[in-house]
Amino acid sequence: MNIFILEDNLFQQQRLERIVKFLTLKHQIRYKSLFSTAKPDHLLAQIDLTANHHIYFLDLEINNEAHKGLSVAKEIRKKDPYGTIVFVTTHSELAPTTFAYRVAALDFIEKDLAEEQFILKVEQCLLIADKHRTIPVCKDNFSFENKYASFQIPFSDILYFETIEIAHKIRLKTKSKVIGFYAELKEIEQYDDRLFRCHRAFVVNLANVRSIDKKNKLVLFDHDESCLVSRRLQKEMITKLEALSRKELIKDSN
């Protein structure tokens, strides 16, 4: 889990940071990083789903724009549909407006609450987010955890995994995003029968393969996505695709 704070008032930003650090230590809540900023673009650029169920504390008014926090929340939902969003603001009158944006906020915390109540509200949100961290995002999900990364993602979203120039770093390409994390491809290919090492640098999700371009040695997915397949592994991959297709037909007929 990562913790994000969007607040353009330095005093309030430091106040919330201090409270979050105290509470995570008190409850031994594990998190990868705590990122605070006054700039929405900086926050959105930092979202990295190497850990799932991030929590976001968002000020509603940024640089005198009363609804800026809501706009940021909508962008967060596109990148992180399972994240926990909490609005922290002095504009309590805007609480009903948050529902119109359909961002599924967990809470709406007023900055001018008594300190004890403010801390209690933040504490409750952190504990809920921490609990969600261990709940599968769907019944059929890819759950990965090693000493470098921990995340879950619906298996149906996965296209392929690939090695990159950085040693031991993997790039996961999904239907909607790219996730970077440290691991070995040999770890990945053993997780599920639908994962196949089609090339020294690629592991594909067979369930999302559209076809194989034998001439150009490419695995093709929807939306013009593709990756390499080695010539010597093409036949084995076709056999596995056919077996998976038969398995799905049998499941659908039952």
154-157: Cβ within 8 A, 24+ apart: 155/192, 155/194, 155/205, 155/207, 156/207, 156/208
* Single-letter residue type at 234: Q
Domain chopping of the chain, boundaries:
3-132, 141-253
Instruction: Find out whether 86 and 107 touch, Cβ atoms under 8 Å.
Output: yes
DSSP 62: B
Is the domain defined by 141-253 classed in CATH 1.10.240.10? Answer: no
- Helices 115-132 and 10-26: angle between axes, nearest 10 degrees: 60
Tokens 């929405």 sit on residue: 40
Distance of CA 223 to the CA centre of its chain: 21
List of long-range contacts for 206-210, beta carbons under 8 Å, 24+ apart: 206/237, 206/240, 206/241, 206/244, 207/155, 207/156, 207/244, 208/156, 208/158, 208/159, 208/175, 209/241
178, 206 contact by CB (below 8 A): no
Question: pLDDT 10s per residue in the chain (254 long)?
Answer: 899 999 999 999 999 999 999 999 999 998 888 999 999 999 998 886 545 678 999 998 887 776 788 889 889 888 887 789 999 988 666 555 655 566 778 888 999 999 999 999 999 999 998 887 665 555 688 888 777 777 778 899 999 999 998 888 999 999 888 888 889 999 899 888 899 999 999 999 999 999 999 999 999 999 899 999 999 999 999 999 998 888 776 565 55
**What token pair was written down for 89?**
């603001």
- What's the CATH superfamily of 3-132? Response regulator (3.40.50.2300)
